[in-house]
Structure 1
């Protein structure tokens, strides 16, 4: 009985942690969303984000059955008031789940900036070059 209670408690805690750690990105009038090409920069107030490098794309291609969905890793550069501030690696999960640890680009008191989506999705029938990639950058207000 003790094992059952322990296992049940453990499962509930794990499920709760998973739900709490995910960030929901909504496309509504309060969020700003921009799709940028490799080496392109987008500005939000005094912050600029540049999609600098496509590092890895191990997402399972559309027409293949995989054991693991995989992820893509990109590098973004952050500029404050036009001056280089920080380099950040983002992990874009194939499932579309957005969490601060993987997708948060920058946070200030009023808003957070995320890298939330990467296109095109891999397809074994089509060769994808680095210049084909587009990264979605989303500015999300912290609270209303």
Structure 2
């Protein structure tokens, strides 16, 4: 506020904006500091695995056991299909020595980046991504159970 000595009226000029600029600067710095603290509170740990049927993937007292391929109806790579097909696999989840349960995972023909949530079996926040099931079918060969290999990635958020 400023007083105009000529007619003694109170007039607002840029004084409101002069007060808001420092307040906005302080607010911005405060939000930036909170954001930085939030990022420091959690770390991400990533595990990659390649496991065959009958084998297990162990990570931080947890285990995903690749029990079997239930169905593999994916369209062979050397054929043009109307429907892409899918593969269904059975995994069993353990924490320590205790079985937490079994889960059937359905993988489409384009298995890349297929994400599933098996986090219900664990206390922590986990993202489990099935990267591939190989070998991919071809008409010229029959896949033996022992040839199947599952590639997966587990991302775990840890608190500091």
So what's the TM-score if we normalise by structure 2?
Answer: 0.63
Q: CA RMSD in A?
A: 2.2
Separation (CA, whole Å) in 2 of partners of 1:92 and 1:134: 13
- Kindly indicate whether the alpha-carbon contact (under 8 Å) linking 1:118 and 1:135 is maintained by their aligned counterparts in 2: yes
Give the TM-score, by structure 1 length: 0.70
Once the two structures are superposed, residues 87-137 of structure 1 have per-residue CA deviations (whole angstroms, 9 ceiling, x without a partner) of 00001111125143xxx3335434223333100000011110111000112
Matched, 1:48 2:63: yes
Counterpart-to-counterpart distance in 1, 2:157 and 2:140: 41
User: Which blocks of at least 5 consecutive residues in structure 1 are unaligned?
Assistant: 1-28
Q: Which residue of 1 aligns with 2:114?
A: 98
Structure 2: stretches of 5+ with no match in the other structure: 1-43
Counterparts of 2:142 and 2:61, CA distance in 1:
37
Q: What is the number of equivalent residue pairs in this alignment?
A: 113
What does the per-residue CA deviation read over 1:49-97, in whole Å, with 9 as the maximum and x for residues that have no partner?
1000110001000111100111100000001111111100001111125
Deviating beyond 4 angstroms after TM superposition, the runs of 4 or more aligned structure 1 residues are none
**Bigger Cα Rg:** 2
Alignment map for 1:8-47 (pairs within 5 Å): 31-47=46-62
